[in-house]
Amino acid sequence: MSASYDAIVIGLGGIGSAAAYRLAARGARVLGVEQFDLGHDRGASQDESRIIRLSYHRPEYVELAKDAFAAWREIEAASGDRVLTITGGLDLAPPDAPEQIEDYATAMTAAGVDFDWLDTADLARRWPQWRLDEGTRGLFQAAAGIADPSVGNVAHQRLARAHGAELVERTKVTAIREHRGELAVETADGGRFATGAAVVACDAWTNDLLGPLGHPLPLRVTREQVTWFEPADAAAFEPGRFPIWIWLGEPSFYGFPTHRGRGPKVGQDIGGRETTADGRSFEPDPDYLARVEGFLRAHLPGALGPARTKTCLYTLTPDRDFVLDCLPEAPGVAVALGAAHGYKFAALFGRLLADLALRHDASRAPGAGLFSCERPALTASATNLVSR
C-alpha cells in the first residue's frame, strides 16, 4: 500500500470537489483523485452557469434545494467567492404542456415557498422579450438564479486543500477493492491506497467503478449542448431584466440571462443522442442547434444572434432522481449521481457524502428511499426519461 486515508474521493468535478472539502473540514485524511486536469471540460460541471431553483416537482426536492442554497452560502462565506447570482426563475407552461407546472406549485406550497402564478398577459407585461401563445402560464420564484461551477468548483478545491486534503490530477482510479470490510483504491499509475471510505463522484464514468463491485446502475449518458447567443439588444437579457427560465413543454428548453459577459445561454433538456463518457465527440450537432434556434425564433426572437455552442454530458437515471447512497455490497463506498440536474445541489451533496462516507450508512440521509441505489427504478429496467 502506498498510503492510507480516512476517505478517498474519486472524481473532482462539482460534487467530488465538494465532498473532498466537507470531509477534510471534519478532520478526515482525504485524498481526491481526478483522471483529467482539474477544471477540464469533458464532464458535466463546467462553464459558468447552472440553474439553481426552489421550484421542483416534489416537496422533498424543494426542501433539499433550500438546504442547497444554504450550503452554497456557507461556501461563499468560507471562500470569499460569489458562486450564486440571484436572477429569479420563471417556469413556463405552454397550453399543451404536461401537468408538471402544477406539481411545482403544489410542492412549493407544501414546502412554504412563495411564488407568483402569472397568466399570459402578466408574462407579456413583465417580460416583453417573450412571445407566448394565449394560455401559456408561468410561475415566478424570486430566489432562483445561477450557480457558477467555474467559481464553485475552484472554491471547494481550494478549501479542501486548505484543510489538508491532497488533490491529485491526471490520475485515473482503475478499481475499488473490497475485502472483508477493508477498502483499497487502485490507480492507473500503479498506486494502491488503503482507505476507510471511497466516495464515487464520477458521473458519466460511474459504472466503470461500480460494475466490478457488482452494482452497475442503469445509467444513460447523452451528449447535450448549450449555446451562447449575442443578441442585438444585449441589455434586454441582463439579470434584473431577464431571469433564468425553464420551458415545460415537449421538448423542454431552459436558459439564462447574460452572465460574466456572455449570453443569453440556451439549451434543450435531453436533446442529445446517447453516447459514452469516453466515446463521445465534442463537435456540436447542427440539428440540436436548429431546434434551439427554432424555439427562440418562435418564443424569444430577440435572443437570437451570433452563436457559440459547446457540448456537455448528461448522465441520467431512468426516473431522473439522484443517487446518494452507500453500496449494499460495500457500505464503505458512497455514491453520488446528479442525474443531470445535480449541480445546484453540489455543495449540499458534499456535506451529505461526508456523512455517508464517515458513517457507512445512508438510512438517515435526506431522501433516503428516493435516492437509494436499490430503488425499483434502478433495479427494474425502466427507460422513459423525464424532465426535471
**Cβ(208)–Cβ(200) under 8 Å?**
no
Indicate whether 323 belongs to the interface with ligand FAD (CB under 6 A).
no
Query: Could you tell me which stretch among 42-50, 127-135, 158-166, 229-237 binds ligand FAD (CB under 6 A)?
Result: 42-50
313 binds ligand FAD (CB under 6 A): yes
201 binds ligand FAD (CB under 6 A): yes
107 binds ligand FAD (CB under 6 A): no
21 binds ligand FAD (CB under 6 A): no
Q: Does 255 bind ligand FAD (CB under 6 A)?
A: no
CA atoms within 13 A on the CB side of 16: 31
Torsion over CA: 356, 349, 337, 57 (sign): positive
- Indicate the Cα dihedral angle 50, 54, 59, 65, nearest 10°: 60
User: Which range, of 33-41, 287-295, 301-309, 351-359, touches ligand FAD by CB under 6 A?
Assistant: 33-41
Q: Does 10 bind ligand FAD (CB under 6 A)?
A: yes
Closest CB 62 distance from ligand FAD, rounded Å: 14
CB of 171 to ligand FAD, least distance (A): 7
Contact between 343 and ligand FAD by CB under 6 A: the answer reads yes
Task: Work out which of 89, 145, 338, 367 binds ligand FAD, going by CB under 6 A.
Answer: 338
HEC letters along the chain: CCEEEEEEEECCCHHHHHHHHHHHHCCCCEEEECCCCCCCCCCCCCCCCEEECCCCCCHHHHHHHHHHHHHHHHHHHHHCCCCEEECCEEEEECCCCCCHHHHHHHHHHHCCCCCEEECHHHHHHHCCCCCCCCCCEEEEECCCEEECHHHHHHHHHHHHHHCCCEEECCCCEEEEEEECCEEEEEECCCCEEEEEEEEECCHHHHHHHHCCCCCCCCCEEEEEEEEEECCCCHHHHCCCCCCEEEECCCCCEEEECCECCECCEEEECCCCCECCCCCCCCCCCHHHHHHHHHHHHHHCHHHCCCEEEEEEEEEECCCCCCEEEEECCEEEEEEEECCCCCHHHHHHHHHHHHHHHHHCCCCCCCCCCCCCCCCHHHHCCCCCCCCC
Interaction of residue 35 with ligand FAD, rule CB under 6 A: yes
**Pick 79 or 225: Cβ nearer ligand FAD:** 225
* 348 near ligand FAD (CB under 6 A): no
Which of these ranges, 39-47, 122-130, 176-184, 231-239, lies near ligand FAD under the rule CB under 6 A? 39-47
220 is a contact residue toward ligand FAD (CB under 6 A): no
Q: Would you count residue 267 as binding ligand FAD (CB under 6 A)?
A: yes
* Residue 45 lies near ligand FAD (rule: CB under 6 A): yes
Question: Are the C-beta atoms of residues 277 and 205 closer than 8 Å to each other?
Answer: yes
Of 21-29, 40-48, 107-115, 135-143, which segment contacts ligand FAD by CB under 6 A? 40-48
Shortest Å, Cβ 110 to ligand FAD: 21
The verdict on 357 binding ligand FAD (CB under 6 A) reads no
Contact between 44 and ligand FAD by CB under 6 A: the answer reads yes
- Cell readout for 193 is 491506497
Q: Is 156 in the site for ligand FAD (CB under 6 A)?
A: no
Asked if 51 interacts with ligand FAD (CB under 6 A), we say yes
Q: Which is nearer to ligand FAD, 101 or 235 (CB)?
A: 101
User: Residue 119 or residue 377: which is nearer to ligand FAD going by CB?
Assistant: 377
163 binds ligand FAD, rule: CB under 6 A:
no
Site for ligand FAD, rule CB under 6 A: 10-16, 33-36, 43-45, 50-51, 172-173, 201-203, 205, 208-209, 224, 226, 267, 312-314, 338, 340-344
